[in-house]
Amino acid sequence: DSGVTQTPKHLITATGQRVTLRCSPRSGDLSVYWYQQSLDQGLQFLIQYYNGEERAKGNILERFSAQQFPDLHSELNLSSLELGDSALYFCASSVAGTGGGYGYTFGSGTRLTVV
C-alpha cells in the first residue's frame, strides 16, 4: 500500500457521460498530480494541485477538470466522454510544490473504459 488511495479501481461508462475520479494523497503530502496512461500516449501529465491551488497544467482537455479540497483529497472530473478517453488514470502525491528532488508516490490507478 503506497498510501495514495484512488477510487474507484474500475469504471465502465458510455460515451457522452461524466465521471469523477477520486484521490486521497499520502499523509503529509500537499501536492496531488494527475496522469493519464494509455498505450499510444504513454504517461501524460494532466494537472497538479498544491495545497488547494492549481500549480501546473499539462495536456489536459477542456472537457476535463480537477480540484483539490481543504482536506487535500482531489477529484478529476471527465465529461462528454469519448472512446479515446479510455485509459488508466493515476494520481500521485508529494510533499513539495514544484521544487526539489522529491519523488512522487503513486496510487494504483483508476481504469476507465468508455463504451
Instruction: Give the interface with other proteins as residue ranges (CB under 8 A).
Output: 2, 4, 33, 42-43, 45, 48, 55-56, 58, 90, 92, 97-98, 100-101, 103-109
CB of 18 to other proteins, least distance (A): 24
User: Minimum distance from CB of 107 to other proteins (Å)?
Assistant: 5
Nearest residue (CB) to other proteins, 25 versus 107: 107
Q: Which residue has the cell 469519448?
A: 82
For the bound state, the minimum distance from the C-beta of residue 110 to other proteins, rounded and expressed in Å, comes to 11
94: CB partners within 8 A, 6+ apart: 29, 30, 31, 33, 102, 103, 104, 105
User: Shortest gap between Cβ of 55 and other proteins (angstroms)?
Assistant: 5
Q: What are phi and psi of 83, to 5 degrees?
A: -55, -35
What does the alpha-carbon distance between residue 50 and residue 107 come to, in Å, rounded to a whole number? Answer: 17
Nearer to other proteins, 79 or 86 (CB): 86
Nearer to other proteins among residue 4 and residue 78 (C-beta): 4
SS3 content of the chain, % helix, strand, coil (to 5): 5, 50, 45
